[in-house]
Every structure is written in C-alpha cells, then in structure tokens.
Amino acid sequence: MTGISTLGQALTRIRLINDQNIQLDNLTRQLATGKITQSFSGLDNNVLASKRARANFQSLETYTNNIKNADRRIKQMLNAIEEFKAQAENFVSSLVQFTQESTHQKGDVIYYDDPLTTAIETTQVGVNSADPDIDLTTMRDLASNIFNFMGDLLNVQEGDLYLLGGADSLTQPYNNSGTLTSAISTLIGNWKDETLPAATNLTSDELISALRSRDVVDDPYAITDTIVGYSAALSAGNVGDVFIRVDERIEVKYTALANEQPFRDIMVAAAFIMNDDLPPIADAYAEPYTPGDPTIADGAPGADLDEMKENFYQVFNELVRMVNNAIDDIDAVRFRLENVRARIDEVAKTHAADQNALQSTIDDVENADMNDVAVKINMLQIQLDASYRVTASVQQLSLVNFL
C-alpha cells in the first residue's frame, strides 16, 4: 500500500508542476505580447464583444482609407485647377494689356498720295505689313504656351486614373488632335473673306456665336466638345460621376470634368488667339503700294481701317469677356471640391473618434494587466521553486532519513 501511495503522490506532484509551468508560459506570453490570449477562444465570455468591436473598427478603417484616397485625389484635382486658373489669369492680363496698345501691326498706316497731282493726299488704305508687332506676337506666343500646358493640366492623373474624366477615369479626357485649330482657321477665313456668299461669310456676331456655342443645334458653326478634343464620353455628356463611400449609408460625389464650361471657354479663346490665320488686324499690302493692289493678307472685315479695327476688337473684346467669366466660374468648381473636402474631413474626424472608442473596448477585453501579470509570475516562480524542492527532497528519502 505504501508503494501505491508513493506513486500517487509523485503523479500529483508531476501534474502540479506541469500546471504551474503551463501557467508560467501563459503569463510569460502575456508579458511579451500584452495580450491575455492569442486566440478568441481564450477570451471566454468576452469573445463576442471583442469580435464585434474589431469588425466595427475594421469597417471604419475601410471608410477612413476611402476618405484618404479621395482627399488625395481631390487635392491633386484642385492643384491642377488652381494652376489652370493662374495660367488663365496670365492670359487675360495679356489680352487686357493688348487692348490698351495701338494698332498692333507692324508699321504705320498707309496713306495713298497720287503722284500725278501736286497736292498731298492722305487717303487711308491699310497697314503696310502682314507681320504683327511685338505686342501681338507676345500675346499669341503666350496663348500658344499656356494652351499646351493647360491641356496637360486637364489630363491630371493619379497612377492610371485620369482625375478630370469622371467615371471614365481610364480614358484621357482631352487630346489636342488639331481639330480645334482647323475649325478656328475655317471660322476666321469665313469671317475675313468678304467675297464669300452670305450663307458662308460670317459677321463678327456670327463668329462670336460660333466660338461660344457647343452644340450645332444652337449654332451650325459651333465649336463642339468633340472639335475641342474632349473624349467621346465627355463630348456625349454621358460620363458618370465619381463617388466616395464615407460610411455604410452615405456616398459623396466629387466630380469635376475637363470639359466644364470655364475650361472649355479658356481653351477655345487661347486657340483662337494663337491661330496662325488671326493676324493681321487690317488688310496688308506689299510695298510699294499701288491703289487696287490685292492684299497679301486679309484683315478683319470692313471697308476701311476703322471698320476693320472695330470688327476685330468686337470679337477680341468678347473673347476677353468670355475668359474673365470663365475664370470666375473656375472658382465655382474649386468651391464645389473644397466643400467635399471639408465634408469628408468632418466624417473622417468622427470615424477617428469612434475608432478610439472601439480600440478602448478591444484593449479592455484583450489586453493583459502588466502589473497583475508581473505579480503572478513572481508568485508562480516561488511556487515552482517550492514544488521542485519538495520533489527533490522526496526523491532523496532513504530508510535512514525516514527513521
């Protein structure tokens, strides 16, 4: 009986030491990881609270990432739009400055003096060269430079996505295919050539209407979006909007399109000014001039220099007005996007506060109390040491020691 009793005591001590070692391993793991357990099953009754808090936290994290991505893209869109506006302001400044200059054509006005008479006639017949002066050249060069640059801004990208293309974000929204230059050359030719039939020849009012119009239903000579160079989806007007999901119930639209009216109007105005067929302002003749000589370059329509200048500046001033209005309208596009940024920023702050609350719940359920763990480890180490000592003493018992 003594042998059986001794075996039972030994097994009990072994089981106790194993249990203490398991507890020590768990406590050591808690001390290293800061977590009560490495699996949900170890949370016992708190497992449901932990899973719910984690699921809600992850859902908010997804929405927060959506907001971060949208905010980054909106910021890129705004940067491109603001730069577009800055270039447009430079452009309109050069236009305004040009209107404050003189005839804007190289040389003085030509006066005809009949050599067969002794009197000096001062009959105004035109301007002596088709070459523009430095002011007109500078303005046209600026228009050419900003036209290409603004076209690039309309194609602002993030990776493979075109940000001003609406939902059709994989298609380049604008392409300078040359159709706009060609269409404007035709309009200018039909405006300047007064020998054309009435059905083809354009008055200044008709030219202005064609430049402003985007639909052939409104004007048969309209500069449509397709002519400007916009993509098929943008030109058709059926491109979808861009949305961001900010929570489980709300989607926010943050669409700005490359063919919105202000962008389109500025591109058309710049293309008109830089067009090679625009100069000269008034009819130009080869020197020396003889009455009845054909023009070497047609100016704006008109029977004399005053009428030519009047017609030219009627169109020119309308373009200045169109660009000024477009610059104001760009601010409306910027304001719309800034409103979206402000709105989603408020949602992001709410999500952050909710995530902090959920994280607090997760920490309360899953995190171990480091002070409590340290105390338990110390106590368990003492208990283990005592267990090992008892076990060692029992194993060293002999009949002499027992007696």
Per the domain annotation, does 34 fall within a domain? Answer: no
pLDDT at residue 110, as a whole number: 47
Per the domain annotation, does 99 fall within a domain? Answer: yes
The verdict on 402 and 288 lying in the same domain is: no
pLDDT at residue 61, as a whole number: 92
pTM of the model: 0.76
Strand-pair partners of 161:
158
Please write the tens of the pLDDT for every residue from 60-114.
999 999 999 999 999 999 999 999 999 999 999 988 887 665 444 444 454 444 4
Quote the tokens at residue 15: 């089981």
Report residues of the chain scoring pLDDT below 70.
1-14, 16-47, 49-50, 99-134, 289, 366-378, 380-403
The verdict on 280 and 388 lying in the same domain is: no
Per the domain annotation, does 30 fall within a domain? Answer: no
In 3D space, the residue among 154, 134, 101 whose CA is nearest the CA of residue 270 turns out to be: 154
The verdict on 403 and 347 lying in the same domain is: no
**Number of alpha carbons in the 13 Å side-chain half-sphere of residue 202:** 25
The verdict on 166 and 298 lying in the same domain is: yes
CB neighbourhood size of 122 (10 A): 9
The verdict on 120 and 212 lying in the same domain is: yes
pLDDT at residue 128, as a whole number: 42
The verdict on 286 and 376 lying in the same domain is: no
Domain holding 251: CATH number?
1.20.1330.10
pLDDT at residue 97, as a whole number: 81
Q: Please state the domain count of the chain.
A: 2
Domain extent, residue 145, equals 56-357
For residues 384 and 376, give the distance between their C-alpha atoms in angstroms, rounded to a whole number.
12
The verdict on 353 and 374 lying in the same domain is: no
Quote the tokens at residue 384: 């283990």
The verdict on 246 and 388 lying in the same domain is: no
pLDDT at residue 321, as a whole number: 95
